[in-house]
Amino acid sequence: MKLFLALVACWLLALVCSDIPQPCTSPDLFEGYISEMHPNQLRPAYGMFSYDAIHQRFYTSMLVYKDNKPEHQVDLFLYNESVRYKFFLGNQTCMKFPLLTPFKPFGVPKDANFLTQIYVGSPSVPEALLLMNIWNVTQDRGNVKIGFSDYGCYPLYWHIEFTDSWTLKSFVNLTLGIQDPTVFNPPLECEKKL
């Protein structure tokens, strides 16, 4: 009888614990749109991104506002080569920097604390709802609240709170795979001018 009660208790514990989301890792290849907001910006930066965890690469093509004027900026992070390119399409200016930080795959870190789950979308259209898990991660300089989809572990938002600043990033229209892998090639202008 004791063995039976112990098995039932273990089964109930497993059933209760299974409802709590576990940290996850995002797919290796996906792309979509991103917007970023910083406290010193009047308007958010927004554009497209491509993410490649296999070759440790990240690409953004953003419309950034500087002095209230739009500027098209391409950032290419090639972690596998430890180099970053920043290219401004308007004046064809390119900069190349050493990339000293290690590649961190998108996903929920193992030390993240689960906060809650919410649905994104309209409850009047059940098939339009997306379940999002919200996590808190403590870092050296502050806290990060991150939201990832329950299914697929896609990033949906990051709210980074530093002691002296904050950043909000939103991710939308995410699709699996990379439609144009050439986005990870440095712009020709960068190669010519460097």
Which region among 72-81, 86-95, 170-179, 183-192 has the lowest average model confidence (pLDDT)? Answer: 183-192
**Of 2-16, 49-63, 108-122, where does mean pLDDT reach its minimum?**
2-16
40 against 113, higher pLDDT: 113
Cβ contacts of 189 within 8 Å, gap of 6 or more:
87, 92, 94
More confident residue, 107 or 124: 107
Do residues 115 and 134 make contact, with C-beta atoms less than 8 angstroms apart?
A: yes
Categorize the per-residue pLDDT at 40 as very low, low, confident or very high, splitting at 50, 70 and 90. Answer: confident
Q: How confident is the model at residue 124 (pLDDT cuts 50, 70, 90)?
A: confident
pLDDT digits (tens, 9 = 90+) for 55-85: 999 999 999 887 778 889 999 999 999 999 9
β-partners of residue 141 are none
Domains of the chain: 23-193 (2.50.20.30)
Mean pLDDT of the chain: 85
Residues 114, 112: Cα–Cα separation, whole Å: 6
Other CB atoms within a 10 A radius of the CB of residue 161 amount to 14
Specify whether the CB–CB gap between 32 and 175 falls below 8 A: yes
**pLDDT at 19 exceeding the cut of 50:** yes
Any idea which residue has 């406290």 for tokens? Answer: 39
Q: What is the pLDDT of residue 44?
A: 82
Write the DSSP assignment of 40-109 as a string of letters: T-SS-EEEEEEEETTTTEEEEEEEEEETTEEEEEEEEEEGGGTEEEEEETTTTEEEEEE--SPP--SB--
What pLDDT was estimated at residue 12? Answer: 42
pLDDT band at 169 (very low <50, low <70, confident <90, very high): very high
Q: Decide: helix, strand or coil at residue 193.
A: helix
* Whole-number Å distance between alpha carbons of 26 and 13: 28
Q: Which of 187, 151, 157 is nearest to 172 (CA)?
A: 157
CB atoms within 10 A of CB 194: 10
Residue 50: closest CA among 189, 145, 174 = 174
Q: pTM of the prediction?
A: 0.82
Q: Is 23 helix (H, G, I), strand (E, B) or coil?
A: coil
* For residue 42, pLDDT beyond 80: no
